[in-house]
Amino acid sequence: MLLKGLWIGVWSGIVLGFYLKVMEMLTGIKVYTLLLNIDFIPLLGSVSFPEWIEFFFHLIVSIIIGILYVYSLNFFHNTGKKQWLFALILTLPTIFLFFPLSILSIKEVPEIDDFPAFLLWTSGHLIYFFTLPPLYIWLVKHQHNT
């Protein structure tokens, strides 16, 4: 279960990160910067990390979500509807993190009233939502007695 959650978290996190990075490159709206930003966290915020380490921090959060997703499905007896329900329950709060992350950020990120940025952020997290159940289904079908 732990390994499934880890892989689901890694791959869904990569999809989200790639999408937001491309959107930031195409539009100039700093949604990828917002995703990776940790400058408001005591101790960590004062360190200038390279992008790959900031992305790794993002993946840690995504892995935690992936593990919670798999454990929730196993605890509540996995069904097709529950796969989507738990994906929604775990993803919905991440959409609204846009607001506190925008407020707390020290570096330049979208303002809380930047509607195009919020739409990009939301669309990225909806893509994340849509990756969780298919990744879970694929891993269940392709597991090798682990």
* pLDDT band for position 60 (cuts 50, 70, 90): very high
- What is the pLDDT, as a whole number, of residue 23? 99
What is the mean pLDDT of the segment spanning 76-81?
79
- What is the pLDDT, as a whole number, of residue 123? 98
Domain spans of the chain? 2-142
- What is the pLDDT, as a whole number, of residue 129? 98
Helices of type H across the chain: 2-27, 31-36, 51-75, 80-96, 98-104, 115-142
Q: pLDDT (tens digit, 9 = 90+) per residue, 90-141?
A: 999 999 999 999 999 999 999 999 999 999 999 999 999 999 999 999 988 8
Q: How far apart are CA 57 and CA 5, in angstroms?
A: 16
Q: pLDDT (tens digit, 9 = 90+) per residue, 2-19?
A: 899 999 999 999 999 999
CB atoms closer than 10 angstroms to residue 95: 17
